[in-house]
Amino acid sequence: MLKIWGRANSINVQKVLWLADELNLNYERIDAGLQFGVNDQPWFSSVNPNRTIPTIDDNGFILWESNVIVRYLAKRYGTSDFYLADLRQEALMEQWMDWQQTTVMLDLGPLFLNLIRTPEEQQDKALIERTSQQMIRHMAILNTHLSDRDYILGSSMTAADIPPGAAVYRWYALDVEHSDFPALNAWYERLQTRDAYSHHIMQPLS
Ligand SMILES: N[C@@H](CCC(=O)N[C@@H](CS)C(=O)NCC(=O)O)C(=O)O
């Protein structure tokens, strides 16, 4: 059975759990990271030398890096309309997934850590202001993209919606300035109708 190491409050783990439920996969999740440890045990470095979560074991095939896990599982277990086989469509899926990881998270990550995991007196207010403004710019890009389609790649949900969809919940859940982005908000509402999204992504921030 598929094994997923990672605590349920990690955005990177949540992406994998959301996908696994969308694909109706049987899996075992093992709490790991922060207070749960496991990734600090000596044996874990042979599974993932970075000691990060999520890490998966799919019948002996070990993989880390959340968005790569999303792509692998979607490609292996998803239908061709969930993971698009066409070269250019696939590249567009990867574009939006990597944008979440390499652009959005550069701001959302520190913003989240400061607001949620840092005592108020130690919070970096300048960083909070700067990353909040950057998040508005990132979300404006997604809002524009979604203005003439229901999902990232068109009329139905694909694996491409998963990383940005996980990020957008965090942004809306944080107590920061949110501009009025109708298309982004409509997509967010569409995602909220999915059981796997509300179950895994819409968790209290901790
Ligand atoms: N780029 C990696 C980042 C992985 C990562 O940094 N995960 C965090 C949790 S979101 C982690 O392992 N933190 C250490 C811990 O929880 O002990 C990915 O997307 O999988």
pLDDT tens per residue, range 41-83: 999 999 999 999 999 999 999 999 999 999 999 999 999 999 9
pLDDT at residue 11, as a whole number: 98
- Give the architecture-level CATH label for domain 87-200: Up-down Bundle (1.20)
pTM to 2 decimal places = 0.97
pLDDT at residue 202, as a whole number: 98
Structure-block tokens of residue 71: 């792509």
For the domain made up of 2-77, the CATH class stated in words is alpha beta
Q: Which atom of ligand 1 is nearest to the CA of 12?
A: 10
pLDDT at residue 112, as a whole number: 98
pLDDT at residue 30, as a whole number: 98
Q: List own/partner pairs for 130-137 with CB under 8 A and 24 or more apart.
A: 131/107, 132/176, 132/177, 133/177, 134/107, 135/104, 135/107, 135/108, 135/111, 135/171, 135/176, 136/177, 136/178, 136/179
Nearest residue to 136 via CA among 95, 201, 180, 105: 180
Distance from residue 10's CA to the centre of ligand 1 (Å)? 7
pLDDT at residue 68, as a whole number: 98
Query: Per-domain residue ranges for the chain?
Result: 2-77, 87-200
Q: Which atom of ligand 1 is nearest to the CA of 15?
A: 19
Q: Which residues contact 125 (CB under 8 A, 6 or more apart)?
A: none
Closest Cα to atom 13 of ligand 1: 52
Distance from residue 189's CA to the centre of ligand 1 (Å)? 27
- Per residue in 68-121, pLDDT (tens digit) is 999 999 999 999 999 999 999 999 999 999 999 999 999 999 999 999 999 999
- Give the mean pLDDT of 28-52: 98
Q: Which atom of ligand 1 is nearest to the CA of 54?
A: 20
**Fold match, 2-77 / 87-200:** no
Quote the CA–CA distance of 110 and 127 in Å, as a whole number.
8
- Find out whether the beta carbon of 65 lies less than 6 Å from any atom of ligand 1: yes
Full DSSP string of 153-171: TBSS--GGGHHHHHHHHHH
| pLDDT, the chain, mean | 98
- Find out whether the beta carbon of 52 lies less than 6 Å from any atom of ligand 1: yes
